Chains A and B, each alone.
Chain A
Amino acid sequence: MANETPRTSVQTTGHVWDGDLQEYNNPLPAWWIYGFYITVAFAVIYWIIYPSWPFGKGFLPGVNSITYVNAEGKEESWHWNTRAKLLKETQDAAAIQKPYYDKIASLSYEQISKDPELSSFVLSAGKAIFSDNCAPCHQAGGQGKIGHFPNLTDDDWLYGGSFDKIHESILKGRRGYMPPFAEALEPAQIDALAHYVLSLSGQKAEPAKAAEGNKLFHSQTAACYYCHGDDAKGRPIIGSANLTDKVWLWADVPGARDDAARVAAVRQVIANGLNRGVMPAWEGRLKPEQIKLLTVYVHELGGGK
C-alpha cells in the first residue's frame, strides 16, 4: 500500500506527511458555491427590507413597514418590528371578535345562552379565558378542590348562582370569613357542634352530642345561626355555607377515612375559623365584555341557577 500512487488525476496540495499521506485539492462543488452566493444575495435583500445594520445611536430601519391603529384611532405606520407586528395582529384578531363581543355586551344573559352561535363563541372563548384565569384554583373543569377552592359545576353556591351573582363574584371578588371559636368555646362544645353539623347532612353522628350541638348552634354562646341561619341553610348574601347539603368545601368530610376523622375535619374548621377564602377581583384585569362572557360560561358549567 505504501508505494501506491493516487488513483485519480486530481491535484494534491503538495504536502506529504509521514512519507505517504497526501491531501487532495478538490474545488468546492458548484451547487455549494452557488448556494453560498444565493445566501449572500438573500442577506443583502434582508438588510434592505428589515431593521439591520447598527450605526451610531440608531440602526437601518428597513423599507418594510407595518400600519396599525394608534390610541387616537388613527392609522399609523412604523418600520417593521415584532412589537408593531404584534400590535397589528392583536387589532386584527380583536376586529374579528368584535361583532360577537358587541352582541354579548348588548344582549341579556338569557339571550346569550339561548343564541346558538353566541353560545358556541362563549364556549370556545370562555374556555380560553377560564383556563388562564380561573382554572388554577377552580381546576380545569371547574370542579374546585375540597379544602381550598369551591366547585363551580354543582348547584350549590355560597354567594348565589344566578347570572347577576356570578357576575358580581367575578367582577368584585369575594372574601370568605368565619371567626375562630377555639377561644370562645370549650373543646367539648366544639365537639358537640361538629357532631350536630355532621348530622345536618345525614352523616353519622352521636345523637346526644348532636342534640347538645343543636342547642349551642341556636344559642347566644356560639351563635352559629347568626350567619348560617336558623335552618342552617346559609345566607348567600354574606356567603355563609349551607350546612344541610352534602357539599363540603372547607372540611374534607368526603375524603375522611372514618367517623372520627370526619368529626375532626369539621371541628378544625369551627376551632380555627376561615380567613383564606379569597377570590380575586377581575375588574380591571379582564375587559367588561370578557367578564360578562365568563359569567355565562361559568353559569353553563352545570350549576347555574
Chain B
Amino acid sequence: MFKFKHENLETNAGILLVATMLAISIGGLVEIAPLFMIDSTMEKVDGVRPYTPLEQRGRDIYIREGCYTCHSQMIRPFRDEQLRYGHYSLASESKYDHPFQWGSKRTGPDLARVGGKYSNEWHVQHLIKPTSVVPESVMPNYPWLLTTPLNYADIGDRMRALRITGVPYSANAEEYQRNVAQFGEAVAKTLHIPDAQKNLVAQAQEGNYDGDRTNVTEMDALVAYLQVLGTMVDFRQYKPEDLVKYR
C-alpha cells in the first residue's frame, strides 16, 4: 500500500507543483466561487442603471486622473462610515462598473455617495483648486479639466466595449426595446449607442455642470459622473431589515 510521506512531495517537482496549486486555490474556492452561487449576494433593488455617455466619459477621466488611488467607492456597514458617508454600498450598485472603483485606500474621503451632496459650483471650484474650499486638503489641483474640451468622438466604441462585458447598452432596435422594458424609455434612450454623441452633448448642455453651456469640457463629464454616484437607489423604498436579510 502506498504510504504518504512528506519526502515524496518534496523530492518530486511534479507532485509538489500540483499539491501547491491545490493548496493555494482553496482560498479562492471557499471565498470567491460561492459568491457566484449564493442567492443573496446581489440585492434586488430598483434604479441601478448603466452610466449615460457623459457620465461614462467622466468615469474614464476619474480613472485616467487616478482618483481611485486616494478615493474609495465602498461604504462599509459600520456606524462611523454610515454617519459620514451615508447608506452602506450594495453589491448591485456597482454591477455595471467595469472595473469597479471600490478601492481600499482612503487618503481622501469615500465617494460612493458623493452625488448630490455638493453643488456643481462647489465641485468645479474644488477640482480647480481643492484648498480654495477645503483649506486643509492635500488633494492636487486639476485646473486643466475646465479648459480641456471633452473628446467624445469615440464614445460609441467605449460603450460597445462595455457592452461586451455585459453592460446593457443597446446597439440595435431589439436591445433598445429590452432596455425600455427594463429601465423605462427615458433611461433606455441614454443607453442607445447610435445616439451616444447626441445624448452626451445634450446632457452637458442641460446639466451645465461647469457653468458654461457653450462647450463640453472634461469638467462637465467628471462632475456629471460625481453627481450621479450613489444616487441611483432610492433607499426610502426599502426597509432597513430587508437589506439585512441579503447577508
Contact = CB atoms under 8 A, between A and B. Distances in A.
Contact of A148 (B38, B79, B83, B125): B125
Interface string A54-70: 10111100000000101
Contacts of B39: 57-58
B79 A78 contact: no
A56 B37 contact: yes
B245 interface: yes
Interface stretch (A80-88, A111-119, A245-253, A263-271): A80-88
B241 A86 contact: no
Contacts of B117: 133, 136
A137 interface: yes
Contact residues on B (Cβ < 8 Å of other chain), bracket: 35 or more
Contact of B239 (A54, A58, A70, A89): A70
Contacts, number: 81
B146 to A, nearest CB: 15
B79 A278 contact: no
Interface in A42-78: 51, 53-54, 56-59, 68, 70-71, 76, 78
B121 A278 contact: yes
Interface in B231-247: 239-241, 243-247
A137 B240 CA distance: 31
Interface stretch (B17-25, B129-137, B174-182): B129-137
Given A54-B38, A86-B78, A87-B244, A137 B119 contact: yes
B34 interface: yes
Nearest to A80: B247
Given A59-B38, A71-B239, A136 B118 contact: yes
Interface of B: 30, 34, 37-40, 76-79, 82-84, 88, 116-119, 121-122, 125-126, 132-135, 211, 239-241, 243-247
Interface of A: 51, 53-54, 56-59, 68, 70-71, 76, 78, 81-87, 89-90, 93, 128, 132-133, 136-137, 139, 145, 148-149, 276, 278, 280
16 contacts: A57-B38, A58-B39, A58-B40, A59-B34, A68-B241, A70-B239, A78-B244, A82-B76, A83-B247, A87-B241, A87-B244, A132-B84, A136-B122, A148-B121, A148-B125, A278-B121
